[in-house]
Amino acid sequence: MNFPKRTLRYQHGVTLLEVLVAVVVLSFGLLGVAGLQVGSLKSTQSSYYRSIASSLASDIVDKLRANALSQATAGQATTANYYVATGAKTLDCTASACSAQVLANYEIDMWKTALAALLPSGNGVVCLDSTPYDGSSSTTPACDGAAGGQWVVKIWWDNSRAQLNQSDATASSTQRLVTIFAP
């Protein structure tokens, strides 16, 4: 079949327009993929912080149990005296022998140092609490010390870099991990 030349004349530039539309559609698709990647990175960062907090909570619980066991065996102190360690700066128990209470303070101090180093604005408490899931920060942990309460590790950190919705001013950037344990 032979097509008249004037039909071909009207087709000039249509392919260029199709290419431009395809480029625009592809650009929006790539922007969507980039947005998903950013969201994924933020979620990964949040998971990483929670993983660190969980690991540090397990670490201090193991140390607390080990020291409480050695105290009970030696008859030096009660378990309750150990867990409410002051966290005050103490001498280095790796270089010299320490009493159970000094060791408790040393372990709490090292734990708080690790929290501050590994988590943004990381801090935590170990306490006896009848309502373990309250407390807004380490300065207000809401540990009531009630008899019959549960032993709890509470860790807080700033999660603002990992928040998915930065425009939501009402969302709290402070995250908390609570671990309940038996001595």
- pLDDT tens profile 89-131: 567 777 777 777 777 778 888 888 899 999 998 888 888 888 8
Token code pair at residue 164? 């998915």
Long-range interactions of 126-130: CB distance < 8 A, separation 24+? 126/60, 126/64, 126/83, 126/84, 126/85, 126/151, 126/152, 126/153, 127/83, 127/84, 127/151, 127/152, 127/154, 128/80, 128/83, 128/84, 128/152
Which residue ranges of the chain lie beneath pLDDT 70?
1-13, 68-90, 138, 161-172
> Structure pTM?
0.69
pLDDT value of residue 164: 54
pLDDT value of residue 106: 82
pLDDT value of residue 150: 84
